[in-house]
Amino acid sequence: MRSRDGVNTATRTMTNKTFELLDTSTGKKSSLPVRSGTVGPDVVDIAALNKDHGVFTFDPGFMATASTESKITYIDGDAGVLLYRGYPIEQLAAQSSFIEVAYLLNNGALPDAKQLADFTASITRHTMVNESLLRMFNGFHYNAHPMAMVSAIVASMSAFYHDSMDIHNPRHREIFMHRIIAKLPTISAAAYKRALGQPFIYPRNDLDYCSNLLHMFYAVPCEPYHVDPLAAQALDLLLILHADHEQNASTSTVRLAGSTGANPYAAISAGVSALWGPAHGGANEAVLEMLEEIGTVDNIPKFLAQVKDKASNVRLMGFGHRVYKNFDPRAKIIREMCHKVLAKMGRADNPLLELAQRLEEIALKDEYFVSRKLYPNVDFYSGIIYSALGIPRSMFTVMFAIARTAGWVAHWQEMIGDPSMKIGRPRQLYTGPVKRDYTPIAKR
Ligand code: ACO
């Protein structure tokens, strides 16, 4: 079946292929159906495995497991392809905007002019947050990490919107989507100002999404602040590139939390917390720390020797990806923008950029990285752009969270809107003690 924009809308297509399974201890056989998506590898449907054979599959880290069916984002990690709703990331980066991408991810199709104007107006008019939420920031210690504040405040939003939290009501889900995309920049800016000890700057509805975000970050009440259009453009690009990435750790966390029927603010807050880790959204912060630690080009060989030494536990941050075993397409786009931003900001001779480029060059020729198919990922360069824009390191992952919110909500909506949705409940291989009797404390 094909929809009007040529997208194959067939789902869970059965193929003629099956996987034959033989339990060698009982001789029992069963055949597992193979299903095809619109593009990408087929999947073996193992639902009958437990029913027929009483066994589970074992796949720590989901190395070979599709946790869900989805129509939102497609990645071909070997070819370096990333599509949002079928559109290549390169085309969206060159021609679209973050707001349009957020609409696309959540609605499945590009908006026409009126739909985009209505969506933009609604997002713009939902940017303010309840004053009580703002006052909550005063309860945080002055040196609280902004991610700690953002995850807590997002979870607290559920205490403010009782009128629109029926997750089974499509209109309530839509209002939630508008609210969370609109308010995340405001909440993030409040976290930033709290850390600086500066007064909070209210959102300005005459500015576009990214200009407003930068204004809330950098304006002070005592003088006017003009947003640099290139800074807003660079930020918009970063948000587009980070907006979704199919079933990554934080998105899977949002789905798992949301699958219990928890309210959507709780689910997104869980996603923010999952994103925080250095193996995920925290990587761009870690890249800058790593570059500073390396210090100069001369130190690169010594650092790479450490990375290759398994006993050291040191990784080349910003390199490697669970899915991309070829260049991350987002890294190519971001690299170009990085040069533009630094040239405009008069920091073309930025020593960290030079160091990053040399490090990339050397690593890409090194057998260790070549044989393991380790390439720079999106975060190898994003931190350098953020610092050129004046965004402090502790805010990098928050910027990522603002972008990924568009994807998180799209996945949450897709899951809740699916009538066959089930609570996510993985099983385990138990290796603990077998049943034993309790020993009273005096006898231990
Ligand atoms: N530096 C050095 N070695 C690495 C790196 C790295 N950055 N990444 C992977 N490897 C090595 C592993 O040691 C392993 O080697 P081995 O086969 O000799 O044991 C091999 O490559 C495979 O690595 P895994 O850890 O099994 O790969 P996995 O898919 O689990 O990990 C991950 C992916 C977490 C992204 C990893 O590459 C990493 O830690 N990278 C650095 C952190 C980073 O940049 N994260 C951002 C990811 S992108 C994002 O979230 C937007």
Residue 64 CB–ligand 1 contact under 6 Å: no
DSSP 8-state symbol, 441: G
Give me the pLDDT at residue 351, please: 82
Tokens describing residue 327: 């260049």
Distance in angstroms (rounded) separating the CA atoms of residues 337 and 340: 5
Nearest CA to 388 among 354, 333, 335, 344?
344
Give me the pLDDT at residue 9, please: 41
Closest-CA residue, ligand 1 atom 41, reads 317
Ligand 1 test: best mutation among 59, 250, 315, 377, most atoms within 8 Å of CB?
Answer: 315
Nearest CA to 18 among 33, 28, 29?
33
CA of 321 to the centre of ligand 1 (A): 6
Tracing tokens 């559920």 back to the chain, one arrives at: 158
Ligand 1 test: best mutation among 322, 328, 375, most atoms within 8 Å of CB?
Answer: 322
Tokens describing residue 210: 């990214």
Burial label for 275, CB within 10 Å (0-12, 13-18, 19+), is buried
Residue 340 CB–ligand 1 contact under 6 Å: no
Terminal C-alpha separation, the chain: 68
Using DSSP, state whether 70 is helix, strand or coil.
Answer: coil
Using DSSP, state whether 72 is helix, strand or coil.
Answer: coil
Give me the pLDDT at residue 53, please: 87
Residues linked to residue 36 through DSSP beta bridges, in sequence order: 13
- The interaxial angle of helices 229-242 and 98-107, nearest 10 deg, is 20
CA of 268 to the centre of ligand 1 (A): 25
Please give the average pLDDT of every successive group of 10 residues along the chain, which has 444 residues.
40 71 86 91 90 90 94 94 97 97 98 98 97 95 94 96 92 97 98 94 97 97 94 94 97 98 97 93 89 94 94 93 89 86 71 86 94 91 86 92 98 95 95 97 96
* Residue 379: active-site member: yes
DSSP 8-state symbol, 283: H
Closest-CA residue, ligand 1 atom 17, reads 372
Residue 101 CB–ligand 1 contact under 6 Å: no
Ligand 1 test: best mutation among 372, 382, 400, most atoms within 8 Å of CB?
Answer: 372
CA of 438 to the centre of ligand 1 (A): 43
Distance in angstroms (rounded) separating the CA atoms of residues 248 and 279: 11
Q: Which atom of ligand 1 is nearest to the CA of 245?
A: 51
Side chain identity, residue 380: F
Give me the pLDDT at residue 348, please: 60
CA of 320 to the centre of ligand 1 (A): 5
Tracing tokens 């250095």 back to the chain, one arrives at: 278
Residue 372 CB–ligand 1 contact under 6 Å: yes
Q: Would you list the DSSP string of 201-216?
A: ----TTS-HHHHHHHH
Distance in angstroms (rounded) separating the CA atoms of residues 302 and 231: 35
Closest-CA residue, ligand 1 atom 40, reads 320
Distance in angstroms (rounded) separating the CA atoms of residues 42 and 220: 54
Cβ atoms of residues 98 and 210 within 8 Å: yes
The catalytic residue among 280, 321, 328, 411 is 321
Ligand 1 test: best mutation among 374, 375, 386, most atoms within 8 Å of CB?
Answer: 374
Residue 332 CB–ligand 1 contact under 6 Å: no
CA of 248 to the centre of ligand 1 (A): 14
Torsion-angle region of residue 197: left (phi > 0), alpha (psi -120 to 50) or beta? left
CA of 318 to the centre of ligand 1 (A): 9
Nearest CA to 129 among 270, 281, 265, 276?
265
Distance in angstroms (rounded) separating the CA atoms of residues 138 and 387: 26
Residue 321 CB–ligand 1 contact under 6 Å: yes
